């Protein structure tokens, strides 16, 4: 059974919780859209635990970046359009960018040469910032099922697999808008 905590409890025990995440804990957290399921994106064992919880074998995951500087260091952001979209972060967008540094995330996060990047407009973005590493961001649901907006609709299979839930009440958003910036012309991906 996971520990369910408030934002205030997270802040009070942040150092201990960040240590748990570095050591492989997977957790549910609020974003600016819906609830996400995450882990340290550099820890391949933790990423595998997220894959098992979601029952999702190979589809790539996106990450919450610790900063725009991290994005520029590890991804190709050289087009005018990519820079424009990057300036829209933090916000409800996932930007698909080509990778410069393939070692910035565990191999099992993304199976190709691109990475989905987010910086939510929510206090939870500080988790990646304070860890100084990206965290996996995927909706807190089984693949193909309805996403979590409150504890009432959290799938029991997911709940049994996570170590921690940071809860801030019901979310009324929708999943982030995905913008593919790997081609010459940006493309908004339908969800």
Mean pLDDT, residues 70-97 taken together: 94
Q: Are 155 and 141 in contact (CB under 8 A)?
A: yes
Question: Is pLDDT of 51 > 80?
Answer: yes
The domains of the chain are located at: 3-189
Helix (H, G, I), strand (E, B) or coil at 124: coil
Residues contacting residue 12 through CB under 8 Å, at least 6 positions apart = none
Residue 188 is predicted with a pLDDT of 82
Alpha-carbon 3 to chain mean position? 20
Please give the structure tokens belonging to residue 174.
């929708």
Q: Are 139 and 37 in contact (CB under 8 A)?
A: yes
Q: Are 186 and 85 in contact (CB under 8 A)?
A: yes
Question: Is pLDDT of 190 > 70?
Answer: no
Question: Is pLDDT of 8 > 90?
Answer: yes
- Torsion angles phi and psi, residue 75, rounded to 5: -125, 160
Mean pLDDT, residues 38-57 taken together: 94
User: Which spans in 6-151 are helix H?
Assistant: 7-12, 14-22, 44-54, 68-74, 80-86, 125-131
Residues contacting residue 83 through CB under 8 Å, at least 6 positions apart = 77
Residue 164 is predicted with a pLDDT of 97
Domain boundaries 3-189, corresponding CATH code: 3.90.870.10
On average, the pLDDT of the chain sits at 92
Question: Is pLDDT of 36 > 80?
Answer: yes
Residue 191 is predicted with a pLDDT of 55
Q: Tokens 């990047």 — which residue?
A: 117
Mean pLDDT, residues 131-140 taken together: 95
Dihedral of CA 44/116/120/134: which sign?
Answer: positive
Mean pLDDT, residues 10-31 taken together: 97
Q: Which of 34-38, 56-60, 69-73, 177-181 comes out lowest in average pLDDT?
A: 56-60
């Amino acid at each position: 059974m996971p520990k369910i905590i408030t934002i205030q409890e997270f802040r009070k025990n942040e150092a201990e919780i960040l240590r748990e995440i570095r050591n492989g804990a997977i957790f549910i957290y609020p974003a600016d859209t819906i609830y996400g399921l995450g882990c340290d994106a550099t820890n391949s064992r933790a990423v595998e635990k997220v894959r098992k919880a979601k029952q999702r074998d190979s589809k790539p995951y996106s990450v919450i970046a610790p900063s725009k500087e991290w994005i520029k260091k590890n991804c190709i952001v050289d087009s005018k359009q990519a820079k424009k979209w990057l300036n829209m972060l933090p916000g409800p967008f996932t930007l698909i960018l080509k990778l410069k540094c393939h070692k910035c995330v565990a191999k099992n996060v993304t199976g190709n040469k691109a990475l989905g990047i987010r910086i939510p407009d929510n206090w939870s973005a500080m988790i990646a910032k304070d860890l100084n590493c990206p965290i996996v961001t995927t909706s807190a649901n089984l693949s193909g099922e309805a996403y979590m907006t409150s504890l009432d609709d959290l799938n029991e299979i997911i709940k049994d697999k996570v170590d921690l839930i940071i809860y801030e009440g019901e979310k009324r958003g929708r999943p982030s808008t995905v913008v593919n910036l790997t081609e010459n012309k940006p493309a908004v991906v339908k969800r």
